[in-house]
Structure 1
Amino acid sequence: MDLASTQAMVLDVLQRASSQNSEILKPAEAKLSEWEIQPGFYSVLLQIVTNHSVDVNVRLVAVLYLKSGVDKYWRKNAPNEISEEEKRSLRQGLVTTFAEPVNQIAIQLGVLISKIARFDCPREWPELIPTLIQAIENNDPLIQHRALLILYHVVKALSSKRLAGDRRLFQELSASIFAFILNLWNTFTEAFVTSINHDAATEIVTENLEKALLNLRILRKLTVFGFHKLHEKQDCLCFLKMIFERAKTALECRKQLRGKGIYVLELCEKFIIHLTKVLLSVLDMHPISFVSFIRPTLEFTVFYLFTTEGTQYTYERFIIQCLNLIKGILLCSEYKLAKIPELTKDIAQEANQIKVSFFQPEILTDICRKIVSHYMLLKRDDLELWDADPETFANDEVGESWKYSLRPCVETVFVTLFHEYRDTLAPVMVEMIKETATVVDVHDLSGILKKDAVYNAVGLGAYDLYDEIDFDQWFTNTLVQELKVKDPNYRIIRRRVSRLIGNWTGIKLSTDLRPLLYECIINLLGSDEDMAVRLTTSTTLRHGVDDFEFNAEQFRPYLDTTFNLLFSLLKETTECETKMHVLNVMTLVVERVGQTIQPHTEALIHYLPLLWKESEEHNMLRCAIVSTLVQLVKALGPASAELNPFLLPIIQLGTDTKQGAIVYLLEDCLELWLTVLENTSNMTNQLMQLFDNMPNLLDYSTETLHCCLVIILAHMLIAPELVMKTQGLQLMTACDSLMADMRSEGILMLTRVVENFIRASPNLGCETVKVILPRIFQSIYQTDTMPMLLSMYLSIVARVLLSSHGIFTEIISLVARKENNNEHNVLASILDVWISKMSNVTNIERRKLVGLALVNLLTTQSRPVMERFKGIIERILEVLHDVSKTDENGATVDSLVLTEGQSPSHFQPESENYETDHDQRKKQLILLDPVHNIVLKDYFQSQLLELQRQIGPVNFEQMLQMVDPDVLLQIKKYYFKL
């Protein structure tokens, strides 16, 4: 098929791929996907893209597929890599696309060329930059604009490379083109200003401004990433010095652009913002080079933010950028005198001196008052949003990023400034509190808004105002009284007072005043109160409950009312984010009061299934629901079993690796699963079905491995034989596979599960874990085994030996076959490590365990054991010394053996009042452990007597002669007569 036919065929499919009809669209997309690995396909796409007679939508689809192909197949050694010949052809074709008339396609071409440049420039594509520079110098405005657009995307892509060689190449590029771009920027910026002053046509203004902005964006990338020490580059310093004057001029021009259309006005605002972005980027990436610009930056920002002459030129995004510049200078670690390296000490001192000389008390006072009295005031738009959508208003207050939203930005700058200059600003805030001390007339909206702003500032600066304000007195004498004013206008103050109290609760509120706090919260949570006030008060409650000094008993009289009001608020809210917030507060209350909540949960328990169903499209809300269920199950204890028909399907959904919900719900659902098991007395078919998810979960994520292993243990303790017979082999096979590629910390977690399987059911447990035992036995005599890991390996070998000699022998045989060795040598190697490294087993219980196993070995009639009789006896004696103590009657007793009714001393549930069924099962596991029910001294004696019977008195006496006389004397003197 010739080229024209191929192009026509591809064009036909692209036309169908741009259709809005899915029946036409999907087959076309499938065909394009099929072609994307065919040689020459992308060359045909480029021909279609550059053919201006083709429909714009079709060309746009073509360039998007071309861009996708570069992502997938341009990289060297990529599967189905585009051939070098076709790459060369594409590069040549792309540098002829400077006359693209459609802006959207021009942008996509710029991105496409930048992606290729990231791979190939400058080595395989050295002509790209010179070609772009040549096109930029062209007299055709369109070609010039498109070349600048492409250069911007190329510079942006190259500046993002981080390898040392790539950064060096970018620095060379920056040095070669910086002066040229700087000159262009000046030219187009001057042309823009001149066209404004001469009231030129909007098209001319727009053209100059677009090119000035593109050059500015290029300059920013070159400045920030293209030079190591900006303060040593004259062109860079010249550029940075010009920014302040250019910004001033652009702000003045902005006022004259109001009648020239929205697009050019927005373009001018982008230009101004990008000027401030240059300063922010240099401050962030080159703080040392920025020192000489600290003062001009502060003068610039303070003029426009805090003077009458300057504020007339500002707009919201510009204000945010200026505030972030002030904050960046205040927080810059290189400008701090404390803990600075000697190399930057002079820089820090210079920067600090500049800040000190600039931030004089008068300026600080003016800034503080302006922030509070102007920038913190609620605006008309805020109040209109409050009226129209109180939930969104409340959420906006806490949810927006300080980088992009004015109110959070103002608040963070205030906190930073206040903390930095506390001694100067604390008296100012105290004075402002006095100025707003009286109750404002409910009709005086201006006074109400001013008081609201002052209270907001006091809340934000709570930590730094600790010594300046007697909060207890202020709370009881003023704030409580203001909460009683129920006029609609005063909702602003009630909401702010509620938030203020929340800010101070964990800082300086007496325990004696907590009941008054709870009464205020109850009054503000009522259904007759404004929704935004109620939502803010729920946050206040969270602060009050989530506090070190919170007393559940003190809160008990208010629990029922508070919980019911929270529940009503939860039902009345409609926004997902709001429901999640209220639910989180309820969860915290349940967590802090524990089982006291039981009588008050019925309504919530009935509502949660409905909320779960409604939240199908809101995964974060579902996470909050699951967190609430965790605390409810803990609070209800064994009674929570009634909730299992609701809980188990949720856990099933959140832990099924085939379900998309697992991405959001896994961690919370694992915690819920474990909590359900901890409070379950009997295994059920539903729980066993849920356990089918576990093998896949072990492979799903290492981050949740620990929780999964704890769940396996919890399941196994409820029904050891059932779990081992149904899932044991599959789980141990998965664990064995995981151990092959795991670090020591992960292996340690897995081996604890193996050990607990044997502890729970010694015979069946050994049979179940048999698949993983060869790896553990072999690992014992590996030289790089960590001491803690070796201790676990020896413990497992010891338990296998004490539980089943048959399986122990079988594993030794398996290891011998794997290593092409004989069984005696394998056992000998294990014993040599065991005897020489037993000091690594530091835990007293594990020492006794491995000691018991050594005692057990004495009667095995094994040659490797008999040959090491001396070392084995010495290790056993060491363990005897460790575990033996003298009782009240002077007799030597085993300190680890538990008598009837005695509880393991180390077993303590998290709370004395909260002991779950799982805790009882773990305690029972300890009580049944050979370490706690076998007296080592008696077992040692009986084994020696059995050995004497097996080999006869004469041979036995010869064996004893192998032992050091000192050791033998100690055994006879302290433990028993031989």
Structure 2
Amino acid sequence: MDLNVDNLLNILSLANESERNSRQQEAENQLKTWEVVPGYHYYLQSIYLNLELPLQIRWLAIICFKNGVEKYWRSSRTNAISKDEKSKIKSRLFSLLHEKNNQLMIQHAHSIGKIVRFEFPTEWPNLFEEIERSLHNFVFVNQDLSSVNNLLIILNQIIKTLSSVRIGRARHAMQSKSPLIVPLLIKLYVKFFQQWTNNLDLALMEVCYLCLKNLRRIIPEGFEQPETNHDVTEFLKVSVDHLRGLINEHSRYSSDLIERYAKCYSKLYFNLISINPTSFILLPCCETILSYYMNYLQENAERIYQSNEENDFWEIIALKGFLILKKVINYTFKQGSITLKQPKSKQEIEIALKKLASGFFNKGLIEKLCDLIINWYLPIKPNDLENWSLEPEEWCNEEFQSSWEYQIRPCAENFFQDLVKFFKDDLSNYILNKISNNLNDGNILIQDSILCTFQLSADSISDKVNFNQLLNDVFVPLGSKNDKLEQKILKRRICLIINEWVVINCSNESRILIYKFLSTLLVGENKINDQVVKLNAIQCLKTIINDWDFNKKDFGPFLTEFITRFIEILDEMTFTESKLYILNTLAIVIERCNPLINYETLIRLLAIIPKYWEVSNSNDNEVILKTSLIRILKNLIISLNENSPETYSICIPLIKSCCSENSDYQLLSEDGYELWLSMLQFCPNQHKEHVEIIQLFELIKFGLLNSTEVLPLILSIIRSYSLLSPEVFQIHSINEIFKVLSGYLNSMRDDAFNVFISLMDILILKLYNDEVFLTSLVDSGLFNCMLSYVLDESNSIVCINKLLLILSRLAFANNEIFLKMLNYLSNDINSFLKHWTEYYVNNGNPRNKKINLLGLLSLLKITIPIKEQNFISIFPDVIKKTFLFLEEVKETDGKVDAYNSDFIYEDIDDYRYLDPDIKENGEKTRYVELLDQADPVFKVQLDKFLIEVIHSFKSTLANDEFDQLMNMNEEYSIEQLQKIM
């Protein structure tokens, strides 16, 4: 079908049909085909500009046009709109100013904004001149209010788009045009404001608001120094009077529009101070703005406190007031050293700071602010109390997730923290006096508010307060009263205080007192301790247990009781968020208190996994809840240790559910792999029921191919199998795994590379004589890949040395096979040996040096008798290195303390730093046993092996050949050889 206006109109009509049918699908496909055809976007514009067409058709046309502009306007895009078509489109962009449908007009403005982003200033340098001229004519010549309204909508979108540009010329070009457009906008704003306030004309009111909305965007973004522009400063001065007047006359005018005006003024001031704080403070009307918000917060405090509306207007303005004052305080006390979008000179910053210090902040004002916050903004609102009473669990979850930037009480709390931080010398005594003198006030809410100030001051006044004494004398007794229902408010607050202070200043004796206090709050039969109190007590306990100074032995006597309470409370909760919070706390308790939790309690905890796994299948948050359950299960495996087979009936099905190719829980795969690894690591050494565990290995190839983001984890699982059940590498095709690893080797991150090295080390120690293993190593390309890695000088020397350890292992364990593998692959043996001996000096510990020397000597033992020249050439160097090592280490029967650290399986070293009460896991035991049984570092004495190698030369070489070989050595080596021969 040819593209023209009529055909396009017919296709849009078909695509717009209300019932889904085959014709509609064909029409949509046709539109998709036409997207790249020249003229398509111009015709779309023609259709939506035609006011006589049905609105739905025009609406679809403008949506297609807007999306097409985004995809094809940029010249560098494939199938970009031609320059000629762009010119035609641009010539008609301001032809829709008589549009009556506001939503369609907004879409049109969005389209223009996208075009301006690409065209201004290079292809459209006079854009703002055109807009300024049109605005002036529509207002003062044609008096066309409808066109003014639509042009202001377009301008607002243009300013919004250009303001977001951070790279390129567009934003700076807009700033250069701001002095042109802003005076006209101010002039129009003042004109329309005077008119609508006199006759309450709603149409004028809307247009005036659009002027204000444009100014709100362009003044902060369009001027580097707005304080120096006379028009801007005069407008801002007038705006404060207008804001004050409109709020005072709130009930007289149209409520919705008045509120939009007030919010717009507040956004203007907030954006100014956020983008350019120094300029804001240097504004002549700065103090007027700050004073207005101070007065607003005072005069409307009770109204805001009593409000129970969502998005309450009075509260929104108060929020902006707090945020503006917060910005000013931070600027003042950080001495202007904050991130500035507009750089300022040191002199300007000093003037701004002096202005604030002398004209605004003083002790009296700060204490007045604190009194205001304590009396009206920190107390729990009546609406909150009602929600607490009716839906305690839901209310508590909302409190945990509250955002201080959008809710008045959290915002006031955040603001108070800044006050205490920057005025702590003045406010420390103020807060302590409140605690001493006002906690007997009969008003529970004010008591709670005063205690809140202490909670919020933790970071600032900790050096001036004996928290341990206050905890014992004031807070715990206050939170232990059970004489009235309202007491739950203070119980919650004491939990919040402890939550803040315990990580700053809390003795071990106080922590024990806290455990006793919290245990009383979790008692189920106490009606006062409702779900809010319980969840806050759990939050508090979680913080204590996570703290660096947590002492699990002090917590031990309370451990079983708390876990029992957690399980009971878990059943009481109905919201996923609450259950998740308790489960996460349980996971931390199990982790931090290992091995103090008794077997019976661990089994009780194990029983909750299948129960809540099934529950989570029936709600929308199943993945996040399952993640927490898997974490608990993993920690239970670790705590059970040798008893971890108790978990297998739960673990193995979960691993299959999370890690299979066709799993319904792909998002849980990483958690599933972590669970799998823990199960393998903590499997006891004598456990024989390995059939199902071995069968799980079938899933590893899918993980290796598709979960490269957790490659270290996948490799660790394979490593665990190499220790637990090396037979899996004979049952399953190890060749496929090695082939995948050969493709990964050159690009592995260090963490994955280290696990790979330890995996290969274990496999060589266990399977060095296994034909399947050795054949797979060659046929998969992995062996050749390792050699190439060593020869590539662009790779890290540290990583190359680690690979040389693996090759040294194989060379010692099976020197004949190793030599055949080298020759079979036709590698540059001379270069390989050169790298091997040169990099030896970069080995940092005796274990690694000895492994290298054993491999090299083992190869020399079989190559020198057959006259392999490459190996003969390195013979003197290897002998010298061997003697120097023996002097350094001084072996006795092959045993040296230094050999018991810096293992190739690096994670094993970490166990030295664990709590001595924690038993070694099965994997640690298996690895140590493997080293004891098979590691030549322990079993072979290097000097005796050297003697054995030299004797083999003497017995296989002719006397003159042997003498000639010995004479290749340096004098030092010859002397040492004479001593041992």
Q: TM-score range by the shorter chain?
A: 0.7 to 0.9
Say what the alpha-carbon RMSD is for the aligned residues: 3.5
Which of the residues 865, 871, 879 maps onto 1:865? 871
Give the equivalent residue in structure 2 for 1:8.
Answer: 9
Kindly provide the amino acid, as one letter, of the partner of residue 47 in structure 2. Answer: I
Map residues 504-903 of structure 1 onto 2, 5 A cutoff.
504-527=501-524, 528=527, 529-597=529-597, 598-616=599-617, 617-618=620-621, 619-655=623-659, 661-663=665-667, 665-681=668-684, 684=690, 686-688=692-694, 690-698=696-704, 703-723=709-729, 726=732, 728-742=734-748, 747-748=753-754, 750-764=756-770, 765-770=773-778, 771-805=781-815, 807-813=817-823, 816=826, 826-859=828-861, 860=863, 861=866, 862-885=868-891
Q: CA deviation at 1:451?
A: 0.4
Kindly provide the amino acid, as one letter, of the partner of residue 640 in structure 2. Answer: L
Q: Given the alignment of the two structures, is residue 919 of structure 1 paired with residue 924 of structure 2, yes or no?
A: yes
Q: CA deviation at 1:129?
A: 4.5
CA contact (8 A) 2:152 2:210 kept: no
Give the equivalent residue in structure 1 for 2:172.
Answer: 171
- Aligned partner of residue 215 in structure 1, secondary structure: helix
1:802-851 per-residue CA deviation (whole Å, 9 max, x = no partner) reads: 234455345434654xxxxxx5xx11111122222321122221111111
Which of the residues 462, 470, 473 maps onto 1:474? 470
The answer to which of 645-654 and 777-786 deviates more is: 645-654
Which of the residues 283, 291, 311 maps onto 1:300? 291
Give the equivalent residue in structure 1 for 2:228.
Answer: 234
CA contact (8 A) 1:137 1:144 kept: no
Instruction: Indicate how the Cα distance of structure 1 residues 410 and 907 shifts in structure 2: closer, same or farther if over 3 A, else same.
Output: closer
Report the Cα distance in structure 1 between the residues aligned to 2:715 and 2:547, rounded to whole angstroms: 32
CA contact (8 A) 2:14 2:24 kept: no
Map residues 88-107 of structure 1 onto 2, 5 A cutoff.
88-107=87-106
Q: Given the alignment of the two structures, is residue 264 of structure 1 paired with residue 257 of structure 2, yes or no?
A: yes
1:503-524 per-residue CA deviation (whole Å, 9 max, x = no partner) reads: 2233333322333322221221
Map residues 949-964 of structure 1 onto 2, 5 A cutoff.
949-964=955-970
Q: CA deviation at 1:452?
A: 0.5
Report the Cα distance in structure 1 between the residues aligned to 2:332 and 2:961, rounded to whole angstroms: 78
CA contact (8 A) 2:420 2:460 kept: yes
Give the equivalent residue in structure 2 for 1:201.
Answer: 201
Q: Which runs of 5+ in 2 are unaligned?
A: 139-143, 305-312
- Aligned partner of residue 732 in structure 2, secondary structure: helix
Map residues 390-405 of structure 1 onto 2, 5 A cutoff.
390-405=392-407
Report the Cα distance in structure 2 between the residues aligned to 1:747 and 1:89, rounded to whole angstroms: 59
1:463-502 per-residue CA deviation (whole Å, 9 max, x = no partner) reads: 3332443333333333333322242222212221222233
Give the equivalent residue in structure 2 for 1:157.
Answer: 161
Kindly provide the amino acid, as one letter, of the partner of residue 920 in structure 2. Answer: E
The answer to which of 286-295 and 918-927 deviates more is: 286-295
Give the equivalent residue in structure 2 for 1:372.
Answer: 374
Q: CA deviation at 1:121?
A: 3.0
Instruction: Indicate how the Cα distance of structure 1 residues 452 and 564 shifts in structure 2: closer, same or farther if over 3 A, else same.
Output: same
CA contact (8 A) 2:476 2:517 kept: yes
Kindly provide the amino acid, as one letter, of the partner of residue 646 in structure 1. Answer: I
Report the Cα distance in structure 1 between the residues aligned to 2:697 and 2:136, rounded to whole angstroms: 70
Give the equivalent residue in structure 2 for 1:64.
Answer: 63
The answer to which of 404-413 and 780-789 deviates more is: 780-789
Which of the residues 406, 428, 431 maps onto 1:429? 431
CA contact (8 A) 2:128 2:181 kept: no
The answer to which of 453-462 and 333-342 deviates more is: 333-342
Report the Cα distance in structure 1 between the residues aligned to 2:482 and 2:302, rounded to whole angstroms: 36
Instruction: Indicate how the Cα distance of structure 1 residues 392 and 339 shifts in structure 2: closer, same or farther if over 3 A, else same.
Output: closer
Kindly provide the amino acid, as one letter, of the partner of residue 282 in structure 2. Answer: S
Instruction: Indicate how the Cα distance of structure 1 residues 632 and 894 shifts in structure 2: closer, same or farther if over 3 A, else same.
Output: closer
Report the Cα distance in structure 2 between the residues aligned to 1:298 and 1:8, rounded to whole angstroms: 54
Q: CA deviation at 1:348?
A: 6.0
Q: Given the alignment of the two structures, is residue 243 of structure 1 paired with residue 245 of structure 2, yes or no?
A: no
Instruction: Indicate how the Cα distance of structure 1 residues 651 and 350 shifts in structure 2: closer, same or farther if over 3 A, else same.
Output: farther
Report the Cα distance in structure 2 between the residues aligned to 1:603 and 1:50, rounded to whole angstroms: 71
CA contact (8 A) 2:458 2:500 kept: yes
CA contact (8 A) 1:13 1:31 kept: no
Instruction: Indicate how the Cα distance of structure 1 residues 318 and 898 shifts in structure 2: closer, same or farther if over 3 A, else same.
Output: closer
Instruction: Indicate how the Cα distance of structure 1 residues 100 and 875 shifts in structure 2: closer, same or farther if over 3 A, else same.
Output: farther
Instruction: Indicate how the Cα distance of structure 1 residues 240 and 945 shifts in structure 2: closer, same or farther if over 3 A, else same.
Output: farther
Kindly provide the amino acid, as one letter, of the partner of residue 888 in structure 2. Answer: D
CA contact (8 A) 2:721 2:728 kept: no
CA contact (8 A) 1:291 1:351 kept: yes
Give the equivalent residue in structure 1 for 2:147.
Answer: 143
Give the equivalent residue in structure 1 for 2:268.
Answer: 275
Kindly provide the amino acid, as one letter, of the partner of residue 329 in structure 1. Answer: V
Give the equivalent residue in structure 1 for 2:108.
Answer: 109
Report the Cα distance in structure 1 between the residues aligned to 2:251 and 2:35, rounded to whole angstroms: 48
Kindly provide the amino acid, as one letter, of the partner of residue 518 in structure 1. Answer: Y
Q: CA deviation at 1:423?
A: 0.9
- Aligned partner of residue 253 in structure 1, secondary structure: helix
Kindly provide the amino acid, as one letter, of the partner of residue 170 in structure 1. Answer: R
Map residues 437-476 of structure 1 onto 2, 5 A cutoff.
437-438=439-440, 440-441=441-442, 447-476=443-472
Kindly provide the amino acid, as one letter, of the partner of residue 152 in structure 1. Answer: N
Kindly provide the amino acid, as one letter, of the partner of residue 584 in structure 2. Answer: N
Instruction: Indicate how the Cα distance of structure 1 residues 265 and 576 shifts in structure 2: closer, same or farther if over 3 A, else same.
Output: farther
Q: CA deviation at 1:678?
A: 1.7
Kindly provide the amino acid, as one letter, of the partner of residue 292 in structure 1. Answer: L
CA contact (8 A) 1:525 1:537 kept: yes
CA contact (8 A) 1:73 1:81 kept: yes
Kindly provide the amino acid, as one letter, of the partner of residue 745 in structure 2. Answer: M
Report the Cα distance in structure 2 between the residues aligned to 1:640 and 1:940, rounded to whole angstroms: 46
1:646-671 per-residue CA deviation (whole Å, 9 max, x = no partner) reads: 334444454457768545x3543333
Report the Cα distance in structure 2 between the residues aligned to 1:655 and 1:607, rounded to whole angstroms: 22
Q: Given the alignment of the two structures, is residue 118 of structure 1 paired with residue 117 of structure 2, yes or no?
A: yes
CA contact (8 A) 2:379 2:449 kept: yes
Q: CA deviation at 1:352?
A: 5.0
Kindly provide the amino acid, as one letter, of the partner of residue 490 in structure 2. Answer: I
Instruction: Indicate how the Cα distance of structure 1 residues 896 and 560 shifts in structure 2: closer, same or farther if over 3 A, else same.
Output: closer
Q: Number of residue pairs matched?
A: 937
The answer to which of 104-113 and 733-742 deviates more is: 733-742
Q: CA deviation at 1:456?
A: 0.8
CA contact (8 A) 2:642 2:682 kept: yes
Identify the structure with bigger relative contact order (alpha carbons < 8 Å, sequence gap 6+): 2
Report the Cα distance in structure 2 between the residues aligned to 1:416 and 1:149, rounded to whole angstroms: 39
Give the equivalent residue in structure 1 for 2:485.
Answer: 488
Report the Cα distance in structure 1 between the residues aligned to 2:67 and 2:756, rounded to whole angstroms: 43
CA contact (8 A) 1:13 1:32 kept: no
CA contact (8 A) 1:257 1:264 kept: no
Map residues 302-321 of structure 1 onto 2, 5 A cutoff.
303-304=294-295, 307-308=298-299, 315-321=314-320
Instruction: Indicate how the Cα distance of structure 1 residues 76 and 680 shifts in structure 2: closer, same or farther if over 3 A, else same.
Output: farther
Instruction: Indicate how the Cα distance of structure 1 residues 715 and 83 shifts in structure 2: closer, same or farther if over 3 A, else same.
Output: farther
Percent of aligned positions that are identical: 23
- Aligned partner of residue 458 in structure 1, secondary structure: helix
Report the Cα distance in structure 2 between the residues aligned to 1:310 and 1:276, rounded to whole angstroms: 21
Report the Cα distance in structure 2 between the residues aligned to 1:573 and 1:749, rounded to whole angstroms: 42
Report the Cα distance in structure 1 between the residues aligned to 2:318 and 2:269, rounded to whole angstroms: 10
Instruction: Indicate how the Cα distance of structure 1 residues 90 and 555 shifts in structure 2: closer, same or farther if over 3 A, else same.
Output: same
Give the equivalent residue in structure 2 for 1:820.
Answer: none
Report the Cα distance in structure 1 between the residues aligned to 2:956 and 2:277, rounded to whole angstroms: 82
